[in-house]
């Protein structure tokens, strides 16, 4: 299995997003996610669409914090390639899906209600996601290998992503287990700018 790195850009403004995408391009990155910790959802969506028009070869996904997942997946987003949600949804919610891009759905994700039965949660994720996306216990905290190996076993061949705590200290442990590694904290500075050398270093392990 090839494991792919996806930088996550915490949007501050459009120019900051564009500069980060250009850094990613220079590092031969093919996919990025944009997330809105500090800006409104409509601003994030508008920026993502503008970015896709400017950098048409880049796969661009969004995580619209503050919007319920069932609402997010029930819409079409022109040009947007991926949609990521921290929330776990039900099969009934999933039947409302209209989004046609790649959907990364939360599975035992940080700050969300945790499943009492991980195997059952994984079976649900197979039915309600394109990529089951898990994390450690908090921002910048890596998930344990016990958790990751269990999820991989329960998911079988269904695509899996890890979205917290990935760094040069643990990336080799996740390589070949997770299909995607979503990374931000270990490659960005305090101004939410990607540090090219740190991104290249992380990439070198894959």
Name the strand (E) or helix (H) holding 9. strand 4-10
**Mean of pLDDT values over 98-110:** 97
Domain 4-200 has CATH 3.60.21.10: no
Give 4-15 pLDDT, tens digit per residue.
999 999 999 999
Place of tokens 């959907």: 103
The whole-number pLDDT of residue 117 equals 97
The whole-number pLDDT of residue 66 equals 86
Give 143-156 pLDDT, tens digit per residue.
999 999 999 999 99
Give 49-58 pLDDT, tens digit per residue.
999 999 999 9
Sequence-ordered alpha helix ranges (H) in the chain: 14-26, 41-54, 69-73, 91-94, 118-128, 145-155, 171-174, 196-203
Alpha carbons 166 and 184: distance in angstroms, whole number:
8
Q: Which phi and psi angles does 83 have, rounded to 5°? A: -130, 130
Chain centroid to Cα 167, Å, comes to 15
Give 121-170 pLDDT, tens digit per residue.
999 999 999 999 999 988 889 999 999 999 999 999 999 999 999 999 99
Alpha carbons 119 and 101: distance in angstroms, whole number:
26
Which among 183, 190, 163 has a CA at the least distance from the CA of 29? 183
Binned at pLDDT 50, 70 and 90, residue 32 comes out as very high
């Amino acid at each position: 299995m090839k494991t792919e790195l996806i930088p996550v850009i915490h949007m501050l403004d459009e120019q900051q997003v564009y500069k980060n995408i250009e850094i990613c391009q220079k590092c031969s990155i093919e996919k990025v996610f944009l997330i809105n910790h500090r800006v409104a959802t409509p601003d994030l969506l508008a920026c993502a669409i503008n970015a896709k028009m400017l950098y048409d070869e880049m796969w661009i996904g969004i995580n619209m914090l503050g919007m319920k997942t069932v609402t997010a997946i029930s819409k079409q987003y022109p040009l947007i390639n991926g949609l990521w949600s921290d929330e776990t949804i039900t099969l009934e919610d999933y039947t409302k899906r209209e989004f046609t891009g790649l959907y990364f759905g939360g599975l035992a994700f940080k700050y969300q209600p945790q499943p009492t039965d991980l195997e059952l949660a994984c079976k649900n994720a197979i039915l309600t996601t394109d990529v089951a996306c898990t994390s450690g216990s908090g921002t910048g905290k890596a998930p344990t290998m016990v958790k990751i190996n269990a999820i991989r076993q329960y998911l079988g061949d269904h695509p899996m992503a890890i979205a917290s705590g990935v760094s040069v200290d643990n990336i080799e442990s996740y390589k070949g287990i997770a299909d995607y590694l979503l990374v931000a904290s270990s490659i960005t500075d305090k101004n939410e700018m990607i540090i090219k050398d740190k991104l290249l270093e992380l990439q070198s392990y894959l």
